[in-house]
Amino acid sequence: MPRSSVVRLSWIVAGAFILATALVYVDRLNLVATPPDLSASNMVDRALGSLAYRQAIWPIFLWTNLLFGIGFVAAVAFAATVAARLGLRGTSVFVVFAAVGGVIGAIASTIPIGAVNSAVWLPYCDCGFKETEIVAQQWAGIVASDISDWLNRVAGVVLAIGLYALVQDAGARIPSRLRGWTLITAVALVLASVVATISPPGLDDIVNVLTSLIGAVLIPVWAVWLARTVDASSGENSPAGGT
């Protein structure tokens, strides 16, 4: 039996976030390449000394961010489809905040790709200003990374508001356990954004655990569970046109 559009979109969302999160750990655990120890070097020497590593890890970095971007974009289409199937207005809080959060998240995921690409494959030119170019590239990358991080935090809060609105608007049309899972996901999104923003010493591991839990478990389970629930309550191939 062919899957409905809402189920297909849910699997795209789930698959993209799970694969992206898995690639994050491929990088963190140095499964593809191991970064050199350059802690005692200055910025220029670190950039030059880590160039071979950054080129080796580039495919992982690229696909990690691309998959997160795909997941966010698919979440926008998924939310609109779910809302239509549940009879919610296209301008409902859930649809609007899911769209805004998804777009912000997709932009945040693609910014690092463009920011890092030139530093990896064209670190400097032989024109007498090598050190100046390298320092400028490094600081440009740091600024772009900070912008991406802040956009991700904003996206998390916006999406959390959208999830809360879904629980309020859909009501009994989705089961109580799914409503509870949706609220847990919303709380985790806000908590990850808040902790990452406060960034007290020693809490980096907590942020990493939260974001991994969100990407590998909470969002994928929520998307597939919601799609199956919506599909079961109103089949797309029904005579009434899926309502």
> pLDDT of 162-207, one tens digit each?
999 999 988 778 999 999 999 999 999 999 999 998 876 667 788 8
Q: Is 32 exposed, middle or buried (0-12, 13-18, 19+ CB in 10 A)?
A: middle
pLDDT on residue 27: 93
Report the predicted TM-score, pTM, of the whole model to 2 decimal places.
0.88
pLDDT at 83: 93
Please give the radius of gyration of the chain, using alpha carbons only, rounded to the nearest integer.
21
Tokens of 56: 């080796």
N-term to C-term CA, the chain: 19
Q: What pLDDT is attached to residue 241?
A: 40
pLDDT at 2: 56
How many residues are present in the chain? 243
Q: What is the pLDDT of residues 4-45, one digit of tens each?
A: 899 999 999 999 999 999 999 999 999 998 888 888 788 878
Q: Is residue 237 part of a domain?
A: no
**Domain assignment of residue 242, yes or no:** no
Residue written as tokens 């904003």?
154
Residue 240 inside a domain? The answer is no
Token pair 């900070």 in the structure block, residue = 146
Q: What's the total number of domains in the chain?
A: 1
pLDDT of 53 over the 60 cut: yes
Domain that holds residue 101: 5-232
pLDDT in tens, 58-92: 999 999 999 999 999 999 999 999 999 988 887 89
Residue 205 lies in a domain: yes
Task: Answer yes or no: is 123 within a domain.
Answer: yes
Residue 203 three-state SS: coil
Q: What is the pLDDT of residue 201?
A: 65
